[in-house]
Structure 1
Amino acid sequence: MKHRIVVLGAGYAGAVTAGRLARRLHRDDVEITLVNGDPEFVERVRLHQLATGQDLRPRPLRAVFAGTGVRLRTAWVASVDADRKTVALTGEQGPDGLGPDTLAYDTLVYALGSTTTDHGVPGVAEYAHNVAGKQDALRLRARLAELEPGADVLVVGGGLTGIEAATEIAEARPDLQVSIASRGGVGDWLGDKARRHLHLVLDRLGIAVHARADVTRVETDAVVTAEAGRIPARVTVWTAGFAVHPIAAATTLTVSDTGQIVVDGTMRSVSHPDVYAVGDAARAEGAGGKPLRMACATATPMAWQAADALAARLTGREVRETTIGYATQCVSLGRRDGILQRVTHEDEVTSTVIAGRGGARIKELICSAAAWSVSHPTMLVPSRRRRLAATREAETRLVTT
């Protein structure tokens, strides 16, 4: 009997895990099934581009995994029974539309990612748009296309997603009045140099900033804040945080207070050794004992760790564990500007910053590399040392040109 591996979710973490397992294990010994609700891989880090009218390169999962032995199921996950080792599926969209609604596994890789959260603020679900998923971005795209010149667009949230959404909209539609509201300061986590550049760009793009404005209600044509009163908004874009899907919390798996599956250093569940979790859905410790943040930057190394550990255990090899850390934080500010902030392994900012066109070019390089790693799932991935060396070489070329 083949060992049945089921991977739930084909975002960055799930797709990379499935591809790496296919390369490390023989298809005569294992059966790898990848379950995803969308038939295409979605570049989530580019959804703000999709929302502003740019078309993203299609990446059909069947083409991505052709010849790898990975079986694809285009369906949604309804529930997971971690004790019986089964997954309930719904909305099957396979080529024949058939197949059991229940999928059994010997090892499960849970990579269902995250979605937006409204933090209990009234009106978000009814009136706000977001860029957490492809369909969400397409709905925002259609709504923005309807707006007449001078219309107010408000982005709620001063983190990476909010900044990228606001600058992308303002650059693509300079005829709109774009603003951003944040409970704290916008880009507060950045170093001084990066933060100064960010606010210069916000000023250049004409983006009004409502800092320390706690949104208490979203209405059809405005948001209400505790400090700044009512802020007009024909369109509100909600980017004030992400939350994991509630599926894991409904199982017997040990989860954190955020609903993430608690895993050890090999991305294996601390309560169920036949379950691995990667990406936003996992609560894993990184360098310095800090929980890894939800990000594409952590999804891929988590996928490598899980795939290598699982493959080693199935083949009787030594299981190696590597502490996952950080190197940079990147933010795009439209298509022609950006920031690359160098950070320590523990994610603390340093004084090294590349901003402007150089920052934009490096951010584009990183996004393209992430998509390439998914599109070439069985290709050998360079070591971390080689990847860092290549990044530093690119940075050096940009600084000196």
Structure 2
Amino acid sequence: MTGQQRIVVLGAGYAGLSAARRLARTSRDATITVVDSRTEFVERVRLHQQAAGQSIRRWELRELLERKGIEFVRAHVSDLDPAAKRVRLDGERSIAYDTLVYALGSAADRGVPGVAEYARSVATPGDVHALPAGPVVVVGAGSTGIELAAELAESQPDSHVTLLGAQEPGAWLSARAVAHIDASLTRLGVTIRSDAKVVEVLPAGVRLADDTVVPADTVVWTAGFTVPDLARRAGLDVDAHGRIRTDATLRSVSHPDIYAAGDAALVAGPGERPLRMACATALPTGGYVARAIVARARATEPEPLRFRYHLQCISLGRRDAVIQFLEADDTPAERVIRGRAGALVKEMIVRGAGMALGLR
């Protein structure tokens, strides 16, 4: 790069850290600043373990970043001014940038009545606290709901765990994977309701669309995620969910000095299907953004992002998991790894993601 380019990365999750670390290795003539409201990095893919009462490791962001020559600013981003190329922080502070990496991630969607008041979440580190013993209803039969229900049932066998979803757990996977998930949850004592649409969270349970009330001491909401409205408020081109629309190089289609990665980016994958919100998306898109920024600074047009998923991993407690192999278009293949072997593969993949961020 020529001159001191000011690169600001918003968010210190998988995507933000991946981008910042690669930029630090390859951008010798740039200053790199990462902004996040948290002081610690926690592996989001382990938050269901923490909710079940297990201890998970944390890393100090300042130490993690500054040893690589990256400035860390702990602050909440309150506003973005693309015309002035400034990020406004809480209080009167602001940071100027030449290039911005938008990697603010996602949080729990609390739009259903009662969720904000009465439900817990495992979407972000700030949401998670060890859940008390007693009847628990987990709403949402996606990956997060499945992992949490299994972890709770295994760690707290005296708690009655109910998993509610509109479809059977893992419905988007192969028949072999779905059968194993059902068998594992049943073995752990989880009650599965696959015809349940929750329309309201109550102080002591949930109300379904048919007006049935399912009682619980604790309700955990895993049915959907949302992204910050910062990009929308700043006038960037976003989709209906608030994700920044990007071109083939993950650059904002409306503001070319802004790149987006991870959950807050709308990225076209194989067959033009949007890439899903996942660690498996955040790490490679963060790394790609860094390569694209460096290429353009060197007056070279970057190759378009070429990306495909290979696996989807769902843990079922500490000694069981499903590893679903995927076709190029992200649909399930026939091959599945199950049981203890699956748990070992899942742990290896999670540890590998941490190593990519310098956590090991």
Shorter chain as normaliser: what TM range?
over 0.9
2:253 aligned to which of 266, 270, 274: 270
Deviation for aligned residue 1:376: 5.8
Does the 8 A contact of 1:213 with 1:228 survive in 2?
A: no
User: CA offsets, 1:42-71, max 9 Å, x none?
Assistant: 211100111111111221112222332210
Q: Which amino acid aligns with 1:47?
A: L
Deviation for aligned residue 1:121: 1.8
Three-state SS of the structure 2 residue aligned to 1:206 is: coil
Partner residue in 2 for 1:57: 57
Runs of 4+ in 1 over 3 A off after TM superposition: none
Does the 8 A contact of 2:140 with 2:222 survive in 1?
A: yes
Partner residue in 2 for 1:183: 166
2:235 aligned to which of 252, 255, 258: 252
Three-state SS of the structure 1 residue aligned to 2:40 is: coil
Q: Distance in 2 between matches of 1:356 and 1:376?
A: 27
User: CA offsets, 1:355-374, max 9 Å, x none?
Assistant: 00111111111111111111
User: CA offsets, 1:199-227, max 9 Å, x none?
Assistant: 10011011001112111111111111023
1:281 aligned to which of 264, 271, 288: 264
Q: Please give the residue correspondences for 1:5-20 in structure 2 after superposition, counting only pairs within 5 Å.
A: 5-20=7-22
1:132 and 2:123 are equivalent in the alignment: yes
Q: Distance in 1 between matches of 2:189 and 2:153?
A: 8
Q: Which amino acid aligns with 1:276?
A: Y
1:152 and 2:154 are equivalent in the alignment: no
1:110 aligned to which of 77, 81, 102: 102
TM-score by length of 1: 0.87
Three-state SS of the structure 1 residue aligned to 2:89 is: strand
Q: Distance in 2 between matches of 1:34 and 1:273?
A: 20
Q: Distance in 2 between matches of 1:322 and 1:82?
A: 24
Structure 2 unaligned residues grouped into runs of 5+: none
1:215 aligned to which of 182, 192, 198: 198
More moved, 36-45 vs 348-357? 36-45
1:88 and 2:88 are equivalent in the alignment: yes
**RMSD of aligned residue pairs (Cα, Å):** 1.4
Does the 8 A contact of 2:8 with 2:35 survive in 1?
A: yes
1:172 and 2:155 are equivalent in the alignment: yes
Partner residue in 2 for 1:395: none
User: CA offsets, 1:319-364, max 9 Å, x none?
Assistant: 1223211101110001110000000121010110000011111111
Three-state SS of the structure 1 residue aligned to 2:206 is: strand
Q: Distance in 1 between matches of 2:168 and 2:211?
A: 14
Q: Which amino acid aligns with 1:290?
A: R
User: CA offsets, 1:262-301, max 9 Å, x none?
Assistant: 0011110011110000000000101111111111111111
Q: Distance in 2 between matches of 1:339 and 1:192?
A: 12
Q: Distance in 2 between matches of 1:345 and 1:326?
A: 7
Three-state SS of the structure 2 residue aligned to 1:346 is: coil
Partner residue in 2 for 1:387: none
Q: Distance in 1 between matches of 2:192 and 2:68?
A: 48
Structure 1 unaligned residues grouped into runs of 5+: 92-99, 378-401
Partner residue in 2 for 1:396: none
Q: Distance in 1 between matches of 2:220 and 2:67?
A: 40
Q: Distance in 2 between matches of 1:3 and 1:121?
A: 43
Q: Distance in 1 between matches of 2:99 and 2:44?
A: 26
**Number of residue pairs the alignment of both structures matches:** 358
Q: Which amino acid aligns with 1:209?
A: I
Partner residue in 2 for 1:21: 23
Q: Distance in 1 between matches of 2:275 and 2:146?
A: 21
Partner residue in 2 for 1:319: 302
Does the 8 A contact of 2:239 with 2:266 survive in 1?
A: yes
Does the 8 A contact of 1:194 with 1:341 survive in 2?
A: yes
User: CA offsets, 1:122-161, max 9 Å, x none?
Assistant: 11111000001112112xx1xx23x3xxx21000000000
Q: Distance in 1 between matches of 2:112 and 2:281?
A: 29
Q: Distance in 2 between matches of 1:23 and 1:127?
A: 45
Does the 8 A contact of 1:83 with 1:252 survive in 2?
A: no
Q: Distance in 1 between matches of 2:16 and 2:214?
A: 39
Q: Distance in 1 between matches of 2:359 and 2:316?
A: 28
Q: Distance in 1 between matches of 2:126 and 2:267?
A: 29
Three-state SS of the structure 2 residue aligned to 1:176 is: coil
Does the 8 A contact of 1:253 with 1:271 survive in 2?
A: yes
1:364 and 2:326 are equivalent in the alignment: no
Q: Distance in 2 between matches of 1:343 and 1:12?
A: 22
Partner residue in 2 for 1:76: 76
Does the 8 A contact of 2:42 with 2:57 survive in 1?
A: no
TM-score by length of 2: 0.97
Q: Distance in 2 between matches of 1:322 and 1:131?
A: 30
Partner residue in 2 for 1:2: 4
Q: Distance in 1 between matches of 2:253 and 2:359?
A: 31
Does the 8 A contact of 1:269 with 1:276 survive in 2?
A: yes
Does the 8 A contact of 1:87 with 1:102 survive in 2?
A: yes
Partner residue in 1 for 2:329: 346
**Identity, % of aligned positions:** 46
